Amino acid sequence: MPKKVDHEERRQQIAHALWRIASTRGLDDVSLRDVAAEADISLGRLQHYFRTKDDMLLFALRHINALADTRIRTSIEELAATGGHPPTPQDILRACLTGMLPIDDKSRTGALVSAAYFARAIHDPRMRTDAQEGIPRLAAFFADQIRTAQQRHAIDTTRDPEAEAMLLISLADGLTAYTLLDVHTPERALELMNQHLDRLFTPATAT
Amino acid sequence: MPKKVDHEERRQQIAHALWRIASTRGLDDVSLRDVAAEADISLGRLQHYFRTKDDMLLFALRHINALADTRIRTSIEELAATGGHPPTPQDILRACLTGMLPIDDKSRTGALVSAAYFARAIHDPRMRTDAQEGIPRLAAFFADQIRTAQQRHAIDTTRDPEAEAMLLISLADGLTAYTLLDVHTPERALELMNQHLDRLFTPATAT
């Protein structure tokens, strides 16, 4: 009797193949046939799951974003378990932003898949939907953390939570780009991000 | 007698064709043949000027960056002519950062060519040289402006000029990315940039 195929597993196998290609030569001139070869399945089978390269790229992006989410959540839970107190908004924002920078193999692969998505989405409005829904959702979460910190007098109340949230996200994005271009090291990107974050968490009324 | 060909003009004609393609469908699957057709010259003639797509992309990037430089210099000179005093470091940084955001057709085309360059450079170390030389040069110029402002007590001396310079550049880059993805408008990107810049120019010792 033929083994029952686990469709979700097969889709993940394809996503992993796409990540490997994204991590090495990039997805620019990659065909469905190339991905099928990398995933070690036939082109026909691959097309059973994904009709186009864009479909595949969106699945790979969502899947790798979900994994990053899980890693970030785990690091926040570990903070809670070891810190002896619930994580502060600063702990949470630091964990999220650290998770967004390409500082290890997993987050670097994520950044390269995001870069491939970016290259496609700027020329195709249909591809932009993921960013247009995902980024404002992340910004709203960041803004909530900032508001909580303001209530606790950890951030100056003159700061606009929505604006600060989008500044943090844009900064993570730009620092990531210059890390991928080897303009600075991952460590330097993290240092710069933390410097900006620490200043946000310094009420101006110190004197 | 055949007209003498102005080689620099021909190269610019090709760069303009590349910009038009970068502004519309992007350079992902574009061949040298496509660019020759857009520039209205033969493939053979195009290859006389550029052997590869990467050579062409680098020329188009450098050329559009030089044009952006000129636009920014002009806007600083206009400030000097109309302001009645030499432009301050804040004026200069604002003019540079505004010129880096995709807020009109010219700067938008520049941002799309940069995006095409980014997509190639992250997978090809040889392509990265331009960013690895250009960004530190820009950061050094920004850091000089910040140091001058510190000497004039316009920026707190606890700020690290090199770090602040790289934060400004990374922020401009991230805000540009989210403008190209239609996550926010160009006007919002400019507003967020100015908000960050205004805070940099607010000494913390106000009270």
What is the block-wise mean pLDDT of chain A (207 residues), using blocks of 10 residues? 72 91 84 93 93 91 93 91 89 96 95 94 94 96 98 96 98 98 98 97 65
First to last CA, chain B: 77
Q: What is the pLDDT of residue B204?
A: 61
Q: What is the pLDDT of residues B143-193, one digit of tens each?
A: 999 999 999 999 999 999 999 999 999 999 999 999 999 999 999 999 999
DSSP letters along A10-71, please?
HHHHHHHHHHHHHHTT-STT--HHHHHHHHTS-HHHHHHH-SSHHHHHHHHHHHHHHHHHHH
For tokens 């910190």, the residue is A149
Q: Please judge whether A178 and B167 are an interchain contact, meaning their C-beta atoms are less than 8 angstroms apart.
A: no
Q: Shortest CA distance to B205 belongs to which of A182, A19, A205, A42?
A: A205
Q: What percent of chain B clears pLDDT 70, i.e. is strictly above it?
A: 96
Q: Which residues of chain B neighbour A25 with C-beta distances below 8 Å?
A: 123
- Estimate to the nearest angstrom the gap between the alpha carbon of A29 and the chain centroid: 23
pLDDT of residue A207: 43
Helices (H), chain A: 7-23, 32-39, 43-49, 53-83, 89-100, 105-121, 125-151, 161-180, 186-200
Question: What digits encode the pLDDT tens for the residues B88-125?
Answer: 999 999 999 999 999 999 999 999 999 999 999 999 99
Chain A environment of B25 (Cβ under 8 Å) = 123
Shortest CA gap A191–chain B (Å): 9
Report the largest interatomic distance among the alpha carbons of chain B, rounded to a whole angstrom.
Answer: 77
Q: Do B166 and A132 touch (CB under 8 A)?
A: no
User: Smallest CA–CA separation between A29 and chain B, in Å?
Assistant: 7
Here the ipTM equals 0.93
